[in-house]
Amino acid sequence: MENMKYEVRYAVGHNEFKGFGTQELRDNFLINDLFQKDIIKLCYTHYDRYIAGGAFPVNTPLKLEPIDPIKAAFFLERRELGVINIGGPGSVSVDGEKYDLNFKEGLYVGKDNKEIIFSSLNSSQPAKFYLNSAPAHKSYPTKKVTREDANQLELGDLKTSNDRTVNQLLVQGIVDTCQLQMGFTELKTGSVWNTMPAHVHDRRMEVYFYFEVPEDQAVCHFMGQTDNTRHLWLSNEQAAISPPWSLHSGAGTSNYTFIWGMAGENLDYSDMDVCDITDLR
């Protein structure tokens, strides 16, 4: 598995979290270096056994192999997979069937598919496949989802600096999944706040992956409990793990885009406990 790398993150409770300093927060919740040339990099978390990662095939196609923590004969033996391309044109081969993915297009791959191969159309404009995976109990059909197929929600307002478009790609009503849900949110020029008011869903964990962040800018990702918050500063193409007990929200020094992925108790996207802005501490 010379083209595979992985790291493991163990679950942290909210009481332990309160004593963390900056480096401990980053060590436990920040995912970095997801896109390494001709490498598949994965982060296996103990929150709902969720995996977030990146496949960056520049000079050679990359095959998704099982990593040791999942103890499986092949990666999707007991899992499902979501893919969103944030780079140049590429393709994903699923047991020999090829799915072309352009920028911001998604693919759901169901349980029991044995051979997953990621390729770029042109090495000078390589694809960047952002990956999320969760345990699965049933095999659902593989399905490609374009921006035109997505359910789009226009939320927020420029007056409150959170005018944004939510693109629901791999969600109930568009794709059948066991528990995985994915999509991306685009902040419009002049807006910087995502997911405000913030919310908590103790029935699901989540990972936020930030991209289209200008090189000299950053995003401040907020987490913790409503009355006891912390923050992480993230650069382009970094991700933040959000435990089920944690709120999740962010503000950038410019507008940006982020991919949200989640798994847990149910598939109801609107199932959330909103945190009133005036209650945040």
Dump pLDDT digits (tens) for 47-74. Answer: 999 999 999 999 999 999 999 999 999 9
Task: Tokens for 25, please give them.
Answer: 């927060």
Q: Is the pLDDT of residue 1 over 80?
A: no
What pLDDT is stored for residue 218 in this prediction? 98
Mean pLDDT throughout 159-166? 96
For residue 33, the SS3 value is coil
Q: What percent of the chain has pLDDT over 90?
A: 95
> What mean pLDDT do residues 229-250 have?
97
| Residues forming a β-bridge with 22 | none
Start-to-end CA distance of the chain, whole Å, equals 45
Token pair, residue 146, equals 């374009």
Minimum mean pLDDT range among 79-83, 163-167, 271-275: 271-275
Predicted confidence at residue 48, as pLDDT, reads 97
Same fold, 4-19+33-142 and 151-279: yes
Q: What pLDDT does residue 46 have? A: 98
Mean of the pLDDT values across residues 128-145? 98
CATH of 151-279, one of 1.10.1040.10, 3.40.630.30, 2.60.120.10, 3.60.21.10: 2.60.120.10
pLDDT digits (tens, 9 = 90+) for 177-222: 999 999 999 999 999 999 999 999 989 999 999 999 999 999 999 9
pLDDT of residue 271: 82
pLDDT band at 272 (very low <50, low <70, confident <90, very high): confident
pLDDT number for residue 266: 83
Indicate the average pLDDT of the chain: 96
Q: What is the pLDDT of residue 2?
A: 84
Strands annotated E in 89-227: 90-94, 97-101, 106-109, 116-120, 129-135, 143-145, 151-155, 164-170, 181-187, 193-200, 204-211, 219-225
Q: What is the pLDDT of residue 114?
A: 98
Report the pLDDT value the prediction gives residue 160, as an integer from 0 to 100.
95
Q: What is the dihedral of CA 261, 109, 103, 175, to 10 degrees?
A: -70
Q: What is the pLDDT of residue 138?
A: 97
Sign of the dihedral through C-alpha 208, 214, 215, 221: negative
The residue ranges of every structural domain in the chain are 4-19+33-142, 151-279
Please name the CATH architecture into which domain 4-19+33-142 falls.
Sandwich (2.60)
